[in-house]
Structure 1
């Protein structure tokens, strides 16, 4: 770990699936011999640069502080082809292979330098992309985190979704999220832009606990003020954590003021710091 926060960023283009795909790489000025890599997948109607500003550059600063290479892929027409049957966007109509795109970025990074483990986090549609990677690229990720995203209900899963393997998994979700409801149900900004039914944040965490070989006997809970942390943990099994923020809306927890249309923010935690702690970077 380093105690500085300087880095460089590059907007890069990679030819994949017959089209030019864009991604941003943030590289710390001070870096180890085999740095870990963190992918950040943006939400609907965003891109990598918007995501950087949306999170107040907190992930950039965290990456620089911990010596982690940070990658922001851009979705096609500002969306990723995620896990949900109810995703009604051009990326689905075009059958965009975002799993293959992720693999291609990893291959390009490995061509440039020796890298360590691959991790991924994502917000909303980007969180759903992380869930797809866990299923359709099992073993690629050494750790995964989602913000404001839960597993689709069984009848809302895309056809042919693969089987996940045990992987450390962190979820952060606001109880006041009116777009991806904390308690489950139909997701979407409004009735004209729905994404089908999703399970609750707790059920989603339980799903990954089961994948990781964990059960009710491995579950503990701690609560303080606006924060509740549910943990599933046992020696020899990857952990699962659900961080629930009372009253928080459809946001990634950062110090930045965000649009009121997506609900209240929070000063209880900073998501980038929680991610770094969960992945063991600080």
Structure 2
């Protein structure tokens, strides 16, 4: 039976809609989670590599387009999404990009938000989108979220994911890359510090947490907005920092981004950087031995965001800053990756 809508019911529905919208925005925008010092040699997957029923060693087929996958690490089933371009030839080994979401995000959100599938179709590579437990990644003892509190080995999970994909598709180990935003960018740094799996990493709005005295000899591109208030460029505590306490610790204490990049260049024995500015974008690039580069891109007045991403409707409705249009981060990172395979 039809009943007239009361003002109270309308208010309740409006409030619920706003709350849901806020939750979606947080899922898309926030990204800052981290873990305890990790092993350099992370675990391999316990799931067997894909082979034919006759044991001939033929690689298992992976569906074209987007598909869901699991891998078991330390007795725990972990999940990731994989994108195989429709026209990608697998007659020769192909590049792989592992895209790491930020805190409160997940693999599906990262897949839809940052344009990597379209880039993969144009340029010819495969993209993986792992899922952090409780929507976060452990990257230090005090960050971030439940994975840090529970001492989850997310480095082992990512290495296992790459191994699982490589058992199913012909992946080029010299063109395997990791990219991430915020908490995902922090995990990308840990992958460079604690593994030798990747040829280069790309970090957006992230930072390095924890010790890293001898990173792998890889190339690095780091993109950061100077007005980021979640992972501030100047190294001060961000607005989500809780000192690394409680069930969901968040402590981001990596120091100023520019100082971190300088230390990375010194460890990599890079030449002095050369800087150029075009509008709001300043690029500082340093050449390093063996064809490697360390590149820092800053965007004046840009916040905690993935530059060049399509702004979400919820962001516009709530009056939040849209992603910077001064740079297309996905295109910039892929261009950097393509120019920096591992020199084995």
After TM superposition, is the score higher than 0.5? yes
* Paired residue secondary structure (1:184): coil
Q: Is the 8 A contact 2:113 2:309 kept in 1?
A: no
2:233 corresponds to which of 182, 194, 197: 182
Query: Greater strand share, 1 or 2?
Result: 1
Partner of 1:13: 70
User: Residues 45-93 of structure 1, C-alpha deviation per residue, up to 9 Å, x if partnerless?
Assistant: 11011112332xx1111111111110000001101111x3331521123
User: Residues 87-130 of structure 1, C-alpha deviation per residue, up to 9 Å, x if partnerless?
Assistant: 15211232211111112112211211221121000011100101
* Paired residue secondary structure (2:66): strand
User: Residues 253-273 of structure 1, C-alpha deviation per residue, up to 9 Å, x if partnerless?
Assistant: 124115368745211111110
Residue 66 in 1 paired to residue 123 in 2?
yes
TM-fit CA distance, 1:13: 1.5
TM-score, reference length from structure 2: 0.71
Counterpart CA distance in 2 for 1:132 and 1:190 is 20
Across the aligned residues of Structure 1 and Structure 2, the Cα RMSD in angstroms comes to 2.2
Partner of 1:29: 86
Q: Is the 8 A contact 1:176 1:263 kept in 2?
A: no
1:203 corresponds to which of 259, 270, 273: 259
Counterpart CA distance in 1 for 2:299 and 2:122 is 25
Unaligned runs of 5+ in 1: 1-6
TM-score, reference length from structure 1: 0.86
Partner of 2:286: 232
Q: Is the 8 A contact 2:231 2:252 kept in 1?
A: no
Query: Residues 12, 281 of structure 1: CA spacing in aligned structure 2 closer, same or farther, 3 A cutoff?
Result: farther
Counterpart CA distance in 1 for 2:135 and 2:128 is 16
Write out aligned runs for 1:39-58 (5 A).
39-55=98-114, 58=115
Counterpart CA distance in 1 for 2:201 and 2:257 is 15
Query: Residues 195, 21 of structure 1: CA spacing in aligned structure 2 closer, same or farther, 3 A cutoff?
Result: same
TM-fit CA distance, 1:188: 4.2
Counterpart CA distance in 1 for 2:290 and 2:75 is 42
Counterpart CA distance in 2 for 1:86 and 1:264 is 30
Unaligned runs of 5+ in 2: 1-63, 244-248
Counterpart CA distance in 2 for 1:10 and 1:270 is 26
Q: Which protein shows a greater Rg?
A: 2
Q: Is the 8 A contact 1:66 1:281 kept in 2?
A: no
Residue 124 in 1 paired to residue 182 in 2?
yes
Query: Residues 169, 199 of structure 1: CA spacing in aligned structure 2 closer, same or farther, 3 A cutoff?
Result: same
TM-fit CA distance, 1:281: 6.4
